[in-house]
Amino acid sequence: MTTAGDIMHRGAQWIPAHETLDRAAQLMRDLGVGALPISDQNERLCGMITDRDIVVDCVAMGHDPARVTAGDMAQGTPRWIDASADVSEVLREMEGNQIRRLPVIENKRLVGMISEADLAQHLTDDQIAEFAHGVYARSSTH
């Protein structure tokens, strides 16, 4: 059985909810990523922030990224997967919620992240096609 822990990339980092979006952008740049999980004061997942969120929902709206926090941007129920979950559960979670990045949690701690690139490296062509259809076909109709 291939698990989330098998296909994730390690080294994912939180951005604390109290940090500003300019700091989030700097951390994304330093890590070479386009998204960060947001943690609350107890280091528990409370949301996700993407580079697109910073541009569209902050900068383009005329807000100052040095004054808006990551926590201000956290919306909805954060999605995650346990490191021991089967890859079919990973696909179900990502397709069902139309998300392209999924934090991996083990013992209530962030241990990694699964991105589209991770899926491409570990899945069959049929699984990748199903994922792409599930995430992109439905999202284009909304």
Q: How is 50-91 classified by DSSP, letter by letter?
A: EHHHHHHHTGGGT--TTTSBHHHH--SPPP-EETTSBHHHHH
**The whole model's pTM is what?**
0.82
Q: Where are the alpha helices (DSSP H) in 36-86?
A: 51-57, 70-73
Q: Each residue of 41-50: pLDDT tens digit? A: 988 899 999 9
Read off the pLDDT band of 2 (50, 70, 90): confident
Tokens of 66: 């040095």
Q: Is 69 helix (H, G, I), strand (E, B) or coil?
A: strand
Calpha distance 107→98 (Å, rounded): 25
What's the farthest any 2 CA atoms get from each other in the chain? 48
- Which residue range forms the structural domain that includes residue 88? 4-139
Counting the structural domains of the chain, the total is: 1
The CATH number covering residue 132 comes to 3.10.580.10
Read off the pLDDT band of 142 (50, 70, 90): very low
The set of residues, in sequence order, having a beta carbon less than 8 Å from that of 40 and lying 6+ positions away, is 17, 46, 71
Q: Each residue of 21-79: pLDDT tens digit? A: 999 999 999 999 999 999 999 888 999 999 999 999 999 999 999 999 999 998 778 89
